[in-house]
Structure 1
Amino acid sequence: MSTEMTTPHHPATPTTADAAPPARRSYWSLWKDVPRQFGFLILTMPIAITGLVVVSTLFFTGVGTIALVFGIFVVVAALYTARGFGVLELVRLRWAGRPPIAPPVWNRGAREDGFWRSLFAPFVDGHYWLYLLHTFIINPVVSVVTWSLTVAWVATALGGTTNWIWQRFIPQHDRDVWLHDVVLDFLFPGNAFSIDPSLGESAFEFIVGLLFLATLPLVFLGLTALHSVIARGVLGAWRSEALQLEVSRLAASRGAAVQAEDASLRRLERDIHDGPQQRLVRLQMDLASIERAIDRDPDAARHLLGEAREQARETLDELRALSRGFAPPILQDRGLAVALESLGARSVVPVELEIGLPADGAPPVLPASIERNVYFVAAELLTNAVKHADASGIRLRASLRDTCPTGWWIDLWVTDNGRGGATLEAGHGLAGLEERIRGLDGLLVVDSPVGGPTSIGAHIPFVPVTAPGATAPAAS
């Protein structure tokens, strides 16, 4: 099975990137993330201020008009808007190279079905209020700090390392002489150093610019990591949600296993009913014929006894195959066409066969499950015709149809010249047959007027098992 059992990634389930500590990276590899981190940090404060203005306007407008009822809708709009800004923050962090943060589970399923439940869901979901807090207070405050540090660090790094280019265009009386007036006087009080102010200042600012430039990747990494830590704690999913989802997943897996087991039991029940049980009915009829003929025609009775013994052997082989979950041996060994011919040959009532199926292995190759089901459907239809129709002749026709582009179908028709009157009443054999075919997305057609004749068609879609290099035949 590959549905829930494969444990698909759910938004609220912590990913490997969330759980595992990041690997240590070399200093030079940090530089490749600098452009993305700079883009994230430089846009943080404008986005945060925009979110603060929009959400606060909506929220306080809604709170102020809540007595007029429509204020409730405005507050809900504020909560959803805060959620949008929070989701944007998570997306931006991932774009900046941070490990992905699992968002909360917003769709609560049946709990939020309907308009009013969806409307009031944000009021009882703590995540909405945390997103509101993040948009209201946390992100604006933190973004002012990180944005200011980003601008200051980039300006100092670029300005210091390029000062020697543009400092000559600045009037000397407008320049601050940091090296002489601040640094040297602080480190060496009363010094009498004679250093060219222009050359010394350029060298000092270049060294400071190099220091800031060298630490730029580390600073950017730390600032984006700060935003990531805050977002993980405020905007991310809770561990309790992951545990609830795991419990739900395990419950669904257990339910799927129970359903699969039930389906297997029902399939085995149908296979026994449509296969060995029909053979046993035939065996019972042969034994009744032997009982009637044993006194008046011993030779015919011995002949019927041999056929009954062969029928019992084939029934036993079929039961053994079903107990192992396989198809009947003749179907498994020689294919559906030969298996249908075998069914017709064993019938008490003469069967005219029209088998338009490809030879075993020729395209289009039927899936094994389709072959098995068609075989059992044909077996039950022939047995019903022999047992209930009082027919003297039966025709079995099987063919394929290519209904491109919708796909391939197999058509199985069993027609007898008996008394008719067959219906799809609940509890009868045809009703179980219809259930089997409906489970294959197929269709059972019954045309049986009183007095006969009876025509029953089973139409089942399938996807061919294409062999390498095989080409499908033309539509029939």
Structure 2
Amino acid sequence: MTTTDAPDTEQPTTHTNREAMSTEPANSPSAETSPRKRGRGYGALWAAVPRELGFLILTMPIAVVGLSFAATVFFTGVGLLALVVGVFVMVGAFYVARGFGTLELVRLEWAGRPRIERPDWARDGREAGFWRAAFVPFVDGHYWLYVLHTLIVNPIVSIFTWTVTIVWVSMALGGTTGWFWQRFIPESDRGFWLNEWLLDRFFPGNDFSYDVVAGERLLEFVLGVIFLLTLPYVFRGLTLLHEAAARGLLGAWRSEALEVEVAQLAASRGAAVQAEDASLRRLERDIHDGPQQRLVRLQMDLATIERRMERDPDAARELIGEAREQARETLDELRALSRGFAPPLLQDRGLASALESLASRSPVPVVFENLLPAASGLPAAIERNAYFVAAELLTNVVKHSDATSVRLRVAVRDAGPAGHWLDLWVTDNGSGGARLEAGHGLAGLHERVLGLRGQFLVDSPPGGPTIIGAHIPFLPETPSVDGV
């Protein structure tokens, strides 16, 4: 057994499949889609201008097309409600509004805004079958909100933002470049000069003598610079206005997320109960078939020894030797069964030391990579379950894999506000072919990890290698300080 201690930033050492050894499980919090990291400051605002301009310049044409198409279909369906066909026409309008609403969400992401969680249209199986899919829009509030966004909110917001965009871009570009291209335009008699009017308002009765044309060019340039400097802020504000409307009308409801979380917690609790029940039933069966039978025989042998001690001492001594062997075998079986429980070393010195000891007892050579920080803050329940999973996986390697080497790797990952993840990988060079099948050991481990709201990954192609990862979320425990 080889032990490797390294900081938690160290990458896995030599292995034929480094990608599979990544400590980032799919769908873990740190791997989920998250708002892209955006820079801060004025320069970052300018960097986003091209995308936001593309978003804003297209917003009104798309809104007008959506309004025209969706309104035509929707109100046609309303007019035909007296006939059966009107219902289906309205359903078509709902799906048209859903399409334009989804397009708005995609465009916002393209403009650099954080992803807005979409509604789960197929939740509760409501789109399973033709008739369900046809009539669910009438009772699903999301469809009505998408219609409201497509027919009313988005056209109004888009007209405003598109107009402001055109005005701001025109003033910024025209004002800063007008001094160059206006000289090529023939001058005509103008009855109004803005710079002259402003001077008369701020300085009544003045008799300033200056070139009014040059003054107009200078004023236009100053205004152009002002509009140009404020353009990133205006674009960001207009984009945020669209984002607010989309987040309020097109996003998933928090109540739905809570429903999903409750369902997941219920499933996790059920998986944990099933895993513990299966473990207890297996332990009961193992004790009944193993140590219990040996103890019954030991009791009978002792009774026989007691009867023969005076009449046949030689036979009694022979029975004593057999009883001693029975006691030794019983003790070995009890030790093997106890490996499914947390050893005292785990409580005294922590998970890393317990796993190191576990790896040292394995008949197959184990390379142990310890990437746990000195103060990991692992709760006791997480340590016990991680130890149990590692013990089961190493046992499976010995029994089923025909492997000649194993790599056991444990690490902790910071997932930000969501807490931390404990990553446990077991990789062997055996024959592969491991599967999550009901009633088998891996299925029990899968249920145990799910009960902890974690993830259990199995990658075991025929011929190997087999890579199994258990990823368990946890909130670090803060060590207590005496006297505080």
The structural deviation recorded for 1:143 is 0.5
Aligned partner of 1:137 among 148, 152, 158: 152
C-alpha separation between the residues in 2 aligned to 1:241 and 1:261? 30
* Change beyond 3 A, Cα 1:115–1:281: farther
CA contact (8 A) 2:432 2:466 kept: no
Partner of 2:98: 83
- Structure 1 unaligned residues grouped into runs of 5+: 337-359, 378-397, 411-433, 442-460, 467-476
1:59 aligns with 2:82: no
Amino acid at match of 1:361: P
1:369 aligns with 2:362: no
CA contact (8 A) 1:370 1:462 kept: no
Q: Aligned runs of 1:432-471 on 2, under 5 Å?
A: none
* Change beyond 3 A, Cα 1:163–1:250: same
Partner of 1:165: 180
* Change beyond 3 A, Cα 1:212–1:6: closer
Q: Aligned runs of 1:355-394 on 2, under 5 Å?
A: 360-361=364-365, 369=392, 372=395
1:235 aligns with 2:254: no
TM-score of the aligned structures, taking structure 1 as reference length: 0.63
| 1:254-312 deviation digits (Å, cap 9, x = unpaired) | 22221221222133234324532454576578679979998997534532331222212
Aligned partner of 1:73 among 85, 88, 101: 88
1:202 aligns with 2:217: yes
CA contact (8 A) 1:4 1:252 kept: no
The structural deviation recorded for 1:170 is 1.0
CA contact (8 A) 2:193 2:212 kept: no
C-alpha separation between the residues in 2 aligned to 1:464 and 1:282? 44
Amino acid at match of 2:83: L
- Structure 2 unaligned residues grouped into runs of 5+: 1-23, 343-357, 368-389, 405-428, 446-461, 468-484
Partner of 2:168: 153
Amino acid at match of 2:64: I
* Change beyond 3 A, Cα 1:333–1:313: farther
Partner of 1:448: none
The aligned length equals 365
1:308 aligns with 2:319: no
- Structure 2 residue matching 1:200: 3-state secondary structure: helix
* Change beyond 3 A, Cα 1:264–1:464: farther
C-alpha separation between the residues in 2 aligned to 1:197 and 1:37? 37
CA contact (8 A) 1:5 1:253 kept: no
- Structure 1 residue matching 2:258: 3-state secondary structure: helix
Partner of 1:122: 137
* Change beyond 3 A, Cα 1:294–1:119: farther
The structural deviation recorded for 1:318 is 2.4
Aligned partner of 1:95 among 106, 110, 114: 110
Partner of 2:64: 49
The structural deviation recorded for 1:225 is 1.4
CA contact (8 A) 2:339 2:391 kept: no
C-alpha separation between the residues in 1 aligned to 2:177 and 2:231? 16
* Change beyond 3 A, Cα 1:167–1:371: closer
C-alpha separation between the residues in 1 aligned to 2:258 and 2:289? 46
Identity of aligned residues (%): 61
- Structure 2 residue matching 1:215: 3-state secondary structure: helix
Q: Aligned runs of 1:178-257 on 2, under 5 Å?
A: 178-179=193-194, 182-257=197-272
| 1:399-425 deviation digits (Å, cap 9, x = unpaired) | 9599xx994479xxxxxxxxxxxxxxx
Amino acid at match of 1:75: M
Partner of 2:473: none
For the aligned residue pairs, the C-alpha RMSD in angstroms reads: 4.5
1:35 aligns with 2:50: yes
CA contact (8 A) 1:177 1:197 kept: no
Name whichever of 75-84 and 95-104 sits farther off: 95-104
Q: Which has the larger radius of gyration?
A: 1
Amino acid at match of 1:55: A
Partner of 1:357: none
Amino acid at match of 1:139: N
The structural deviation recorded for 1:179 is 3.2
* Change beyond 3 A, Cα 1:251–1:165: same
The structural deviation recorded for 1:146 is 0.7
- Structure 1 residue matching 2:188: 3-state secondary structure: helix
Amino acid at match of 1:369: E
Amino acid at match of 2:392: S
* Change beyond 3 A, Cα 1:313–1:139: same
CA contact (8 A) 2:298 2:323 kept: yes
C-alpha separation between the residues in 1 aligned to 2:69 and 2:319? 92
The structural deviation recorded for 1:137 is 0.7
Name whichever of 231-240 and 149-158 sits farther off: 231-240
The structural deviation recorded for 1:44 is 0.5
* Change beyond 3 A, Cα 1:370–1:156: closer
C-alpha separation between the residues in 2 aligned to 1:94 and 1:312? 69
C-alpha separation between the residues in 2 aligned to 1:231 and 1:438? 44
* Change beyond 3 A, Cα 1:176–1:164: farther
Q: Aligned runs of 1:2-13 on 2, under 5 Å?
A: none
The structural deviation recorded for 1:3 is 10
CA contact (8 A) 1:41 1:146 kept: yes
The structural deviation recorded for 1:140 is 0.6
CA contact (8 A) 1:58 1:78 kept: yes
Name whichever of 86-95 and 178-187 sits farther off: 178-187
Partner of 2:370: none
